[in-house]
Structure 1
Amino acid sequence: MKIMTTLIAFVVVLGFLVFVHEFGHFLIAKWVGVKVYVFSIGFGSRLFGFKRGDTDYRVSAIPLGGYVKMAGENPTEPLKGSPDEFASRSIKERLAIIVAGPFMNLIWAVLFIIMVFYFGIEQPTFLKQQARIGWIQPNSIAEQAGLQAGDIIVSLGQQTITRWEQALKFIDTTSVKDLTITVRRQDREIQVQLKLDKKKLSQDGGTLGFFPPLPPVVGELRKGWPAEKAGIQPGDKIIALNGETIHDWYELTHVIHNSPGVPVELQVERKGEKLSFTLTPRKDEADGKGYIGMLPFQQTEKVKYGLGESVKQSLVFNWRMTRLTLGYLWKVITGQQSGKSIGGPIAIAQFAGQAARTGLTELIRLMGFLSLQLGLLNLLPIPVLDGGNVLLLAIEGVSGRPISLKKREIIQMIGLAILLAIMAYAIFNDISRFFSP
């Protein structure tokens, strides 16, 4: 049953995202007068479909993408010079056809997340609570500025803060280099100055180094990971790590992250009984940190937003995800970060299955996230991707003439090789994670 749910969710999620992407190309092609021969969900042999007008609408055998075949699109085929051929249209019209696919994915990313906020999203209850700092990361910007656990955030810059939701939103959207924070410590207010150095922020994982209170209580365990294998159970309260008292979940994870491959001893409290477990954090090849497969228990509440606020929240969410995605890709390209966390179809299937079992809202949220990724990645300037075709059009626009067939074929072959290498790497990562101990 679990496998069937995963397969169905994978086909539905990927199929819909491919459909809206290809429909974008198709819609603009028809709008500007380009003849479309094939609209296909999937690659390879035709499974079923129907023909209407000049277009064969089909579902094909390999469900890992799709395509729209237009008249005059393939430079190796003879052109008639007909106005309904892709090559006969102006650069602006061809550009519109190319970018329409990823643009549709970006639109649906926003629409999906609007649905999530409008129908209700589970949010931690601490977001509505007073912004009391629960833990300060050692050697972070916050610690260097003098902030302490227990401080209550009164204001960030010129904005008054009454709850964590406001504080986190401000931090996520601010672009200032120096930030003045006013906190209440015991019975007096103190101002501290935070220097938002980009290099230091990157070293600290993009955080300022202060976190809301999060009790060290186990919520979920990943099957087959060190914590589950050692015998830790949901509901266990972590009271000590290597003999040192633990007060907060973030304090626990900080030590675990810095102990990859090093045995640690956890002391927990379970129904009034104290138990000890020895386990070794698994090193993640992507970031080099240690993980034991535990998630914290958090009290949540379902929060529904009005339509206007849902739109606003969706735009903020997608902008944040865009920054994170592009930032990660840049770090991978420049060698600042490993690409081990890049996932392929197996990872998508696993996430889709898990989301489907969790509920419709979680599945819609995943579809929004993946739609954004598909839109952004297709805009990368890699030949055979939409972004690569945009680059070729830009060269044509600057030079005043199309790139020669021979050069175009070489460029396309290079692009295809790059794309296949990326896909092979992603699938290798999927398989490695699947069979990892």
Structure 2
Amino acid sequence: MVEAAQPGLLLTLASFALVIGLLVFVHELGHYLAGRAFGVRADVFSIGFGRELFGWTDRRGTRWKVAVLPLGGYVKFAGDMSPASTPNAEWLSLPAEERAQTFQAKKLWQKSIIVLAGPASNFLFAILVFAGFFMAYGVPQTPAVVSQVIPGSAAERFGMLPGDRILSINGKGIDQFEEVADYIRLRPGEMADIRIVRNGDHEVLNVRFDAEEQVDRFGNRFRMGRLGIAPVERVVVEEPVGTVLAKSVTHTFNLVGMMIEGLEQVITGRRAVDELGGPIKIAQFAGQTASLGWEPLIEFMAFISINLGFINLLPVPMLDGGHLLFYAIEAVRRRPVKAKAQELAFLSGLALLVSLMLLVTLNDLSTLGLWEKLANLAG
């Protein structure tokens, strides 16, 4: 494969700012709208951290701003005086009317919805993007039937034949061929029981997937699982809006399942930690995808939006999932976790996130060949 020219630095930075800026806005808008629905006043709505570049204040008193470091954002609700957003003396000193508009004054279920609305907005964004593509181009519904077995592949070695219909892989039901590829690519070198129908009879094939390194048009390398089969002619059908939305929801949460599987593989050592990517890698992929056109870039944004929603739901203090974990504990105990314990947990969560950010940034720099270039210079 002839490698495509890498996009310029300006396109890469502009694409990264567009992707991250829009998705952070979507995420924080979820928090903002949910808070507003429950009567919580927002003091600040920020895209980015640090010094303000520009902004304005609306008639409700909310400061909308864009800050210098575009790696996230936040909504600061009235009364947010500590990371744990717990009532304290300063909050109690507020007039009753002002206190009623603060986040702390809301019921536990209301606070939970406000926190959950951020990740939910990211998932909703992806669902709507996929629905738009399905409406424009149809819904893939290729039958899970083997048309061709690639010579020398795992499929040939373990006895798969043309005409086999795949029913399940490791107990996971398979309805269409696209699901086969999604399942296998995450499992290079792994064993699997594949249940098939052959000439009307049910059989189970015990297969070890091949592991291969694939290289895309920009030279990026990926370790993928491969079975070595081809489908019958790809089938795409038009569906009514209701079915399209249902398919979009299913597709989105299938991708979430793949993310969970990928994270589990890293934790258990089945995948190398250096496969984790960070902001530099996202920027690189954003620029490369943008160079292919608007449609690939929008699809890429949907994938990143799912990642953003998923990561924020992890039960790590400082993330939305950490807040929800404390609310769940409070619901069971009938009283909140002590403020001091929450603040210590949030500091630990911050340390964990900073460490993870450093790790993925080092991975990104390694992928770009920085250490090798420095070694060559030193030599």
* TM-score range normalised by the length of the shorter chain: 0.7 to 0.9
SS at match of 1:340: helix
Counterpart position of 1:46: 52
Q: In the alignment, is residue 105 of structure 1 matched against residue 122 of structure 2?
A: yes
Given that 2:31 and 2:118 are in contact with CA atoms closer than 8 Å, whether structure 1 keeps it comes out as yes
Letter in 2 for 1:109: A
Letter in 2 for 1:135: I
SS at match of 2:40: coil
Cα shift at 1:143 = 4.5
Counterpart position of 1:152: 163
Distance 1:112 1:422 in 2: 29
How well do the aligned residues superpose, as a CA RMSD in angstroms? 3.7
Counterpart position of 1:93: 110
Letter in 1 for 2:160: L
Given that 1:40 and 1:66 are in contact with CA atoms closer than 8 Å, whether structure 2 keeps it comes out as yes
Q: Cα deviation per residue 1:132-167 (whole Å; 9 max; x = unaligned)?
A: 122277666x744x324xx223x4459xxxxx9944
Q: In the alignment, is residue 361 of structure 1 matched against residue 323 of structure 2?
A: no
Q: Cα deviation per residue 1:255-313 (whole Å; 9 max; x = unaligned)?
A: xxxxxxxxxxxxxxxxxxxxxxxxxxx9x7xx6x89xxxxxxxxx99968455354344
Counterpart position of 2:258: 324
Distance 2:154 2:180 in 1: 22
Distance 1:368 1:311 in 2: 15
Q: CA 1:179–1:423 in structure 2 vs 1: closer, same or farther (change >3 Å)?
A: closer
Q: In the alignment, is residue 13 of structure 1 matched against residue 19 of structure 2?
A: yes
SS at match of 2:291: helix
Distance 1:129 1:194 in 2: 15
Counterpart position of 1:370: 304
Given that 1:117 and 1:304 are in contact with CA atoms closer than 8 Å, whether structure 2 keeps it comes out as no
Identity of aligned residues (%): 32
What is the count of residue pairs matched by the alignment?
Answer: 331
Distance 1:354 1:318 in 2: 23
Mapping of residues 228-267 of structure 1, within 5 Å: none
Distance 1:304 1:7 in 2: 37
Given that 1:95 and 1:390 are in contact with CA atoms closer than 8 Å, whether structure 2 keeps it comes out as yes
Cα shift at 1:180 = 4.9
Q: In the alignment, is residue 193 of structure 1 matched against residue 203 of structure 2?
A: yes
Structure 2: 5+ residue runs without aligned partners?
1-6, 169-173, 184-191, 226-232, 373-379
Given that 2:167 and 2:175 are in contact with CA atoms closer than 8 Å, whether structure 1 keeps it comes out as no
Given that 1:102 and 1:378 are in contact with CA atoms closer than 8 Å, whether structure 2 keeps it comes out as yes
Q: CA 1:310–1:36 in structure 2 vs 1: closer, same or farther (change >3 Å)?
A: same
Distance 2:152 2:40 in 1: 58
Cα shift at 1:405 = 2.5
SS at match of 1:65: strand
Q: In the alignment, is residue 435 of structure 1 matched against residue 369 of structure 2?
A: yes
- Of 204, 207, 230, the residue aligned with 2:209 is 204
Given that 2:28 and 2:74 are in contact with CA atoms closer than 8 Å, whether structure 1 keeps it comes out as yes
Q: When the two structures are superposed, what TM-score results if normalisation uses the length of structure 2?
A: 0.76
Q: In the alignment, is residue 69 of structure 1 matched against residue 81 of structure 2?
A: no
Q: Cα deviation per residue 1:365-418 (whole Å; 9 max; x = unaligned)?
A: 101111111001100000000000001111222222222222122111100001
Q: Cα deviation per residue 1:6-37 (whole Å; 9 max; x = unaligned)?
A: 11111111111000100011111111111110
Cα shift at 1:192 = 5.3
Counterpart position of 1:263: none
- Of 9, 12, 29, the residue aligned with 1:23 is 29
Distance 1:129 1:382 in 2: 39
Q: When the two structures are superposed, what TM-score results if normalisation uses the length of structure 1?
A: 0.66
Q: Cα deviation per residue 1:107-150 (whole Å; 9 max; x = unaligned)?
A: 00111112223333899xx958974122277666x744x324xx
Q: CA 1:352–1:129 in structure 2 vs 1: closer, same or farther (change >3 Å)?
A: same
Cα shift at 1:39 = 0.5
Counterpart position of 1:58: 65
Q: In the alignment, is residue 133 of structure 1 matched against residue 148 of structure 2?
A: yes
Given that 1:112 and 1:368 are in contact with CA atoms closer than 8 Å, whether structure 2 keeps it comes out as yes
Distance 2:144 2:264 in 1: 36
Counterpart position of 1:232: none
Q: Cα deviation per residue 1:227-267 (whole Å; 9 max; x = unaligned)?
A: xxxxxxxxxxxxxxxxxxxxxxxxxxxxxxxxxxxxxxxxx
Distance 1:219 1:99 in 2: 37
Letter in 2 for 1:193: E
Counterpart position of 1:386: 320
Given that 1:71 and 1:84 are in contact with CA atoms closer than 8 Å, whether structure 2 keeps it comes out as yes
Q: CA 1:179–1:30 in structure 2 vs 1: closer, same or farther (change >3 Å)?
A: same
Q: CA 1:46–1:134 in structure 2 vs 1: closer, same or farther (change >3 Å)?
A: same
Distance 2:77 2:68 in 1: 20
Q: CA 1:219–1:44 in structure 2 vs 1: closer, same or farther (change >3 Å)?
A: closer
Cα shift at 1:170 = 7.3
Q: CA 1:157–1:20 in structure 2 vs 1: closer, same or farther (change >3 Å)?
A: closer
Q: CA 1:55–1:364 in structure 2 vs 1: closer, same or farther (change >3 Å)?
A: same
Letter in 2 for 1:60: A
Counterpart position of 2:341: 407
Question: Which structure's residues are more often helix, by fraction?
Answer: 2
Cα shift at 1:353 = 1.1
Distance 2:32 2:115 in 1: 10
Letter in 2 for 1:96: I
Q: Greater CA radius of gyration, 1 or 2?
A: 1
